[in-house]
């Protein structure tokens, strides 16, 4: 069992490390278990009948007997399309409406997760989880009107969480995890070399011949946090759960580079290639959930989660010489995720699932950016689970996410001297997401 579980987790870690992700509200990824996808993750904190409880509430591990392993695969298909409203020039080489809307900035991505659980005794359980709790990916066409603000934005995380749970008495269980989290990031945008040249004294006739450069920041970091959980069972059919996942502070270190720098600007410090860093803190998450089996045919469940996105205040990139290459005031706020779900037990083997959720955006209108054009969203989900035998179970889930249309304006309030040639670009964003999941659980 140990050898098989570790092999499964190793393969899943490799898959996560090469996957590209599409952002959910903020850049949190809820897709950590196929058995909950069809419920819009209602009951994730209290249901505790699949191994994703190791991630959502480790106290739920005490409900399992024997040793178990589980693997899930989610395929996320987002669509993020901008329609330009206006483009205003601020200097030579500034973008125009004719430069285009960037195409579909979304793209399909696989997000796997894997779990293992070992029963040390009837009351003591240990577990291991591999997840991708945060991630985003947007990528626009190279020549689009907003290229001086964003081209590619990508964040990948891998979290490995050894966990433990103990059943204090017949009703109360507690649990906790240590979370080792790796983060990788890549951010790129175009640089208006014509405007930079003019700002640095290059003659206009020469400056206007300069083509765009590309500024790229790449780096990674590994840090740690923790998770705590509590599960209280009124009886076999009713329970509530509470969980807390801590913030994780990262200092992303790597390189800051600018390509296609014209010879007259080759000595400019702000265009040099060097080491650099940026601070990123993933947020605390507090969740409470409930589960109640009404009768032999129906069960209801719900979850409410609070995410402290105020940790994401400034996104500032500083090079090793102490020069601030870029700084964006994100000024995010707290967000909430509310979900309700229903299960219908068709027979002893087959269960159908339905769920809806509302996910609030942490981004205020005036701070919304092309990198993360985030908005409120409504989830509608359906799924099923099928017990093959007393040791094996497969699950399937589907979610469609309806996102509110939002307007994003970049460049308002900045001067040409602060941001040469970027222009003031306004666009309306229309987005939606489709998610398919498949999972398999095995008892040993």
Looking at the whole model, is its pTM more than 0.85? Answer: yes
Let me know: does 402 contact 380? Beta carbons within 8 Å. Answer: yes
> Within 13 A of 214's CA, how many CA atoms are on the CB side?
11
Which of 233, 301, 234 minimizes the C-alpha distance to 60?
233
**pLDDT of the residue at 412:** 81
Per-residue pLDDT of the chain (444 residues; tens, 9 = 90+): 545 445 555 545 444 444 444 445 678 999 999 999 999 999 999 999 999 999 999 999 999 999 999 999 999 988 889 999 999 888 888 899 999 999 988 878 888 999 999 999 999 999 999 999 998 888 999 999 999 999 999 999 999 999 999 999 999 999 999 999 999 999 999 999 999 998 888 999 999 899 999 999 999 999 999 999 999 999 999 999 999 999 999 999 999 999 999 999 998 888 889 999 999 999 999 999 999 999 999 999 999 999 999 988 888 899 888 888 888 888 899 999 999 999 999 999 999 999 999 999 999 888 899 998 889 999 999 999 999 999 999 999 999 999 999 999 998 876 655 667 888 999 999 999 999 999 999 999
Name the CA radius of gyration of the chain, rounded. Answer: 24
* DSSP-assigned beta bridge partners for residue 402: 378, 432
- Phi, psi dihedral angles at 368 (to 5 degrees): -70, 140
Structural domain boundaries, residue 414 = 2-443
What gap in Å lies between CA 426 and CA 424, rounded to an integer?
7
What gap in Å lies between CA 194 and CA 208, rounded to an integer?
5
**pLDDT of the residue at 40:** 97
**pLDDT of the residue at 199:** 86
How many helical (H) and strand (E) elements, i.e. helices and strands, does the chain have?
A: 5, 20
What gap in Å lies between CA 398 and CA 418, rounded to an integer?
46
Let me know: does 335 contact 307? Beta carbons within 8 Å. Answer: yes
What gap in Å lies between CA 180 and CA 162, rounded to an integer?
9
What gap in Å lies between CA 175 and CA 226, rounded to an integer?
11
The terminus-to-terminus CA distance of the chain in angstroms comes to 7
* DSSP-assigned beta bridge partners for residue 377: 359, 403
Which of 63, 288, 286, 62 minimizes the C-alpha distance to 175?
62
Let me know: does 373 contact 429? Beta carbons within 8 Å. Answer: yes
Let me know: does 258 contact 272? Beta carbons within 8 Å. Answer: yes
Count of structural domains, the chain: 1
**pLDDT of the residue at 376:** 94
**pLDDT of the residue at 10:** 52
Residue 304 DSSP symbol? E
* DSSP labels, 74-106: EEEEEEEEEEEEEEE--STT---GGG----B--
Pair of tokens at residue 283: 């947020």
2 C-beta neighbours (distance < 10 Å), count? 11
**pLDDT of the residue at 416:** 58
**pLDDT of the residue at 30:** 92
CA 339 to chain centre: 18
**pLDDT of the residue at 24:** 53
**Residue 18 belongs to a domain with what CATH number?**
2.40.160.60
Label each residue of 32-71 as H, E or C: CCHHHHCCCCCCCCCCCCCCCHHHHCHHHHHHCCCCEEEE
> Within 13 A of 185's CA, how many CA atoms are on the CB side?
28
CA 351 to chain centre: 29
């Amino acid at each position: 069992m140990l050898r098989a579980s570790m092999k499964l987790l190793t393969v899943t870690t490799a898959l996560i490390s090469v996957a590209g992700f599409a952002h959910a509200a903020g850049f949190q990824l809820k897709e950590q278990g196929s058995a909950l996808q069809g419920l819009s993750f209602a009951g994730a904190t209290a249901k505790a009948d699949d191994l994703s409880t190791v991630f959502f509430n480790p106290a739920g591990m005490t409900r399992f007997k024997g040793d178990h392993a589980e693997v899930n695969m989610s395929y996320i298909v987002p669509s993020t399309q901008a329609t330009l409203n206006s483009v205003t020039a601020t200097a030579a080489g500034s973008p125009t409406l004719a430069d285009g809307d960037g195409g579909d900035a979304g793209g399909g991505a696989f997000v796997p997760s894997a779990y293992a659980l070992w029963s040390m005794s009837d009351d003591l359980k240990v577990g291991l989880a591999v997840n991708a709790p945060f991630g985003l990916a947007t990528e626009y066409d190279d020549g689009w009107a907003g290229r001086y603000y964003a081209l590619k934005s990508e964040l990948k995380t891998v979290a490995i969480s050894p966990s433990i749970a103990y059943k204090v008495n017949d009703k109360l269980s507690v649990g906790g995890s240590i979370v080792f989290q790796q983060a990788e990031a890549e951010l790129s945008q175009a640089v208006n070399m014509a405007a930079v040249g003019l700002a640095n004294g290059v003659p206009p006739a020469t400056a206007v011949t300069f083509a765009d450069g590309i500024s790229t920041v790449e780096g990674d970091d590994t840090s740690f946090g923790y998770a705590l959980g509590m599960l209280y069972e009124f009886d076999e059919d009713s329970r509530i759960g509470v969980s807390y996942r801590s913030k994780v502070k990262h200092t992303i270190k790597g390189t800051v580079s600018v390509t296609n720098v014209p010879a007259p600007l080759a000595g400019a410090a702000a265009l040099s290639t060097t080491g650099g860093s940026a601070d990123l803190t993933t947020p605390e998450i507090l969740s409470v959930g409930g589960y109640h089996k009404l009768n032999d045919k129906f069960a209801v469940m719900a979850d409410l989660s609070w995410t402290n996105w105020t940790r994401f205040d400034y996104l500032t990139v500083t090079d090793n010489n102490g020069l601030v290459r870029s700084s964006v005031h994100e000024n995010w706020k707290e967000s909430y995720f509310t979900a309700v779900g229903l299960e219908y037990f068709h027979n002893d083997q087959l269960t159908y699932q339905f769920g809806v959720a509302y996910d609030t955006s942490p981004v205020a209108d005036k701070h919304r950016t092309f990198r993360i054009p985030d908005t409120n969203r409504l989830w509608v989900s359906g799924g099923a689970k099928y017990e093959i035998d007393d040791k094996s179970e497969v699950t399937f889930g589907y979610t469609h996410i309806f996102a509110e249309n939002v307007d994003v304006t970049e460049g308002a309030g900045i001067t040409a001297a602060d941001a040469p040639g970027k222009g003031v670009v306004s666009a309306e964003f229309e987005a939606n997401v489709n998610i398919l999941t498949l999972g398999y659980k095995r008892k040993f």
